[in-house]
Structure 1
Amino acid sequence: MRFFKRFCLLLSSILVFGLFLACDPFGTQLTQEDVTYYISEGASPAPGRDTLEVMTWNLKFGGGRIEFFFDCFGDRVVMTSDEVQGHLEGITAFINETQPDILMVQEVDVQSKRSAFVDQVQWVLDHTEFQYAFYTPQWKASYIPSDGLGRMNSGLAIFSRWPISEGRRMALPLIGEQSCLVQYFYLKRCLQTCVVDIHGQKITLLNTHTAAYAQDGTKKKQLDLIFERLQDLASRGEPFIFAGDLNALPPGTTQTKGFPDSVCPPGEFEADDYSAETDWLSPFYGAFSSAVPLSDYQRNNAPYFTHTVDGIGRWNRKLDYLFTNRTFVDESDVTYQSFEAGGFDTFGLSDHCPLSVNYVLK
């Protein structure tokens, strides 16, 4: 009888929790239709081009080099409006100096508590020459009852000088080792896709930010699904440009673990040990063109590093990528590890630096 009572109590708890998830009281569940288009007032397409400058950049939600709790260098959770505005001013100054035609970003916030409730997509659109943008959430909740995070809406955005349509959000696998409760409130990674129309020439744009801390192979599953999607586009002869923070190292990387900014206690937000992941991106390099040719990277890793958590050191690993099934202009890639524009260094704007390349329009 005692066992039966415990069983009934457990079953009741499961049913209550299941009902909680089904009701989605904090609005964390996302579908392929969770997309938002932005258009500047009076927008009109830019003139046609022979080549496009395409850029990818993880913006760290306008956090610059503030030492947040998940970096294990500090304990900050939220920013002031002045801090957010200052970082966004630096970001948009860089964009206006370099003038990319298409910009695909990760970790951009839309009215989240941690970034002073600023719509960062709208901010970038208002302060640059981009006229069209497309936003897809990866982390959304009306309230997160942990670490003072509160309201959260963070995800992926694509900015363009030409109209964007056919936007979709393709869900990627969740981290399987997480409990149901953590999964409910945590990031729900996705592949963001849309089509840009450049005076009749249509290109599919894809943007993602894969799992950073998974230890159960979730990142590999996400990468495999993305690769299948790219293969499908290529098999149908549809041109695409794929960008993202893949949280993975290229084949032939010299250092795969023991990074100096890996200071978190085990089991928390520790930086990945990539030693078992060095071949995960090989299919991408084998099937498609890369902004940074693999041979260049393998000859000397350091000039192509795009990430570090440590706000004192320098870039120490490459996590950010651009691939296409068409053609990038040879030697047009730029990894902006340091770039002076308006009196600032890119190192202070995010824990990732921008990567750009020129794409040939045909």
Structure 2
Amino acid sequence: MNKFGKIYLVLLILLFAACDPFATKIGDEVSLYESIEQKEFAFPDTLKVMTWNIKFGGGRIDFFFDCHGERVIMEESEVLENMSAVAEKIREVNPDILMIQEADVNAKRSAFVDQVQYLLDNTDFNFAAYASQWKAKHIPSDGIGKMDSGNAILSKWKFTDAKRITLPLIKSQNFIVRYFYLKRNILGIKLEHEGKTLHLLTTHASAYAKDDTKKKQLDIIKSHIDSLKQNGERFIFGGDFNSLPPYSKQTSQFDDSACTDGDFEADNYAEETDWMIPFYEDYNPAILLEDYKNDNSKHFTHTTDKNGYWNRKLDFLFTNGAFIPNSGTTLQQWMQVSDHAPIIVEFNTKQ
């Protein structure tokens, strides 16, 4: 039996001997945060909202899963330097609401720096909610070790009803991989002001699903916001959907992944360009579909190649309220800070 086979056998024995020996199961728990120093802000007529996949403070280090390098673990100095750059850019934009994906709070790969608390203490946000997507006492693969990473929403104002909604797992993965793999979610909070309620939600859909899992995740996301609309509730929903908008006809030009072993090959985006249509049909996007159709490249938000250029749009913001016309912007100038570009938009709180 080879080395991998022996490791696989040991893992099977451990998993069958105990219910959850590596503590990978995630329920509906949400962690609440506050900044060290509270700041006072008047509630504005327009909210500036930002969504950003911050790549766990990894900047553009060549990690193994991008197949451009072999790095797995960062030094604390590297994490703090990268997070300092993330915080600097956030302060420059000065959003009222920030939705982040791939935030580590207790992970070996990011030197156990709590990145949600770091951003609270180094920006003007006062409160945050965090929901794990990837959690384990120890991941016995590639030197990853302890993991706690997920989605967060940061706000200048106190919120209520923080909630984590579970999304389906990738069913085509084998039992061992699925046990240790990411458990995707929707994270939602509620802001209340002058008798009005605004739901703020974020998500990070699957990136490496080779079956219909991501389509099911998107259907659940759409169903959830549909129910808010039907109940007369206002919402802003944003995040990394890992899906292309309609009119993404340039998919054949994508360097989807440098990986060829199957584990981290990107999805076949060319087959998914209609999956986001229901969101555009029923809700208001930060970046109008017509604008995207006319000039795709200025709205791209992702690339795996730090020496190349953004080559696809995977990140979105939608509302059933009113975004200020022409306020939606993709900030492509910070490629060295993350493998995703943030999106910002202004929301009219009076409508």
| TM-score computed with the length of structure 2 as normaliser | 0.94
Contact 1:254–1:301 (CA under 8 A) maintained in structure 2: no
CA shift digits 1:41-74 (9 cap, x unpaired): 4535520211000000000000000000000000
The code of the aligned residue for 2:128 comes to: A
Partners of 1:266 and 1:26 in 2: CA distance: 26
CA shift digits 1:183-241 (9 cap, x unpaired): 11110001111112345432111100000010111000000000000000001110000
Partners of 1:272 and 1:164 in 2: CA distance: 36
* C-alpha displacement of 1:78: 0.5
Contact 1:48–1:199 (CA under 8 A) maintained in structure 2: no
SS for the counterpart of 1:89 is: helix
1:229 is aligned to 2:224: yes
Alignment of 1:278-293 (within 5 A): 278-293=273-288
CA shift digits 1:3-29 (9 cap, x unpaired): xxxxxxxxxx99984453xx2111110
CA shift digits 1:261-306 (9 cap, x unpaired): 5211141211222111110000000000000010110111000000
* C-alpha displacement of 1:153: 0.2
Alignment of 1:69-80 (within 5 A): 69-80=64-75
Partners of 1:14 and 1:38 in 2: CA distance: 37
Partners of 1:178 and 1:276 in 2: CA distance: 20
- Cross-structure match for 2:338: 350
Any runs of at least 4 consecutive aligned residues in structure 1 with deviations exceeding 4 A, and if so which? 13-19
- Cross-structure match for 1:3: none
The code of the aligned residue for 1:353 comes to: A
- Cross-structure match for 1:25: 21
Identify the range of structure 1 (259-268 vs 101-110) with the bigger mean alpha-carbon deviation. Answer: 259-268
Alignment of 1:211-226 (within 5 A): 211-226=206-221
Indicate the RMSD between aligned Cα atoms, in angstroms.
1.6
- Cross-structure match for 1:319: 314
1:361 is aligned to 2:349: yes
1:295 is aligned to 2:279: no
SS for the counterpart of 1:90 is: helix
The alignment-based identity, stated in percent, is: 50
Partners of 1:101 and 1:244 in 2: CA distance: 16
SS for the counterpart of 1:91 is: helix
Contact 1:208–1:245 (CA under 8 A) maintained in structure 2: yes
SS for the counterpart of 1:153 is: strand
Partners of 2:290 and 2:312 in 1: CA distance: 16
Partners of 2:37 and 2:243 in 1: CA distance: 40
CA shift digits 1:316-337 (9 cap, x unpaired): 0000000001000000011000
- Cross-structure match for 2:157: 162
- Cross-structure match for 1:58: 53
Alpha-carbon distance change, 76 to 326 in structure 1, aligned in 2, over 3 angstroms: same
- Cross-structure match for 2:6: none
| Correspondence for 1:39 among 13, 31, 34 | 34
| Correspondence for 1:137 among 132, 148, 158 | 132
The code of the aligned residue for 2:154 comes to: F
Alignment of 1:145-160 (within 5 A): 145-160=140-155
Partners of 1:15 and 1:124 in 2: CA distance: 41
1:181 is aligned to 2:176: yes
The code of the aligned residue for 2:143 comes to: G
Partners of 1:174 and 1:154 in 2: CA distance: 16
- Cross-structure match for 2:305: 310
Partners of 1:279 and 1:135 in 2: CA distance: 30
Partners of 1:45 and 1:188 in 2: CA distance: 36
The code of the aligned residue for 1:271 comes to: A
Partners of 1:240 and 1:101 in 2: CA distance: 15
Contact 1:213–1:270 (CA under 8 A) maintained in structure 2: yes
Identify the range of structure 1 (136-145 vs 35-44) with the bigger mean alpha-carbon deviation. Answer: 35-44
Alpha-carbon distance change, 212 to 261 in structure 1, aligned in 2, over 3 angstroms: closer
Identify the range of structure 1 (65-74 vs 177-186) with the bigger mean alpha-carbon deviation. Answer: 177-186
Contact 1:92–1:127 (CA under 8 A) maintained in structure 2: yes
Partners of 2:169 and 2:346 in 1: CA distance: 34
Number of residue pairs aligned between Structure 1 and Structure 2: 340
The code of the aligned residue for 1:28 comes to: T
CA shift digits 1:93-121 (9 cap, x unpaired): 11111100000000000021000110000
Alpha-carbon distance change, 311 to 234 in structure 1, aligned in 2, over 3 angstroms: same
Partners of 2:16 and 2:332 in 1: CA distance: 47
The code of the aligned residue for 1:234 comes to: K
Contact 2:257–2:266 (CA under 8 A) maintained in structure 1: yes
Partners of 2:12 and 2:310 in 1: CA distance: 46
Which structure 2 residue ranges, 5 or more long, are not aligned?
1-10
| Correspondence for 1:238 among 233, 237, 240 | 233
The code of the aligned residue for 1:50 comes to: D
* C-alpha displacement of 1:260: 2.7
The code of the aligned residue for 1:355 comes to: I
Partners of 2:207 and 2:224 in 1: CA distance: 21
Partners of 2:49 and 2:296 in 1: CA distance: 22
Greater C-alpha radius of gyration: 1
SS for the counterpart of 2:207 is: coil
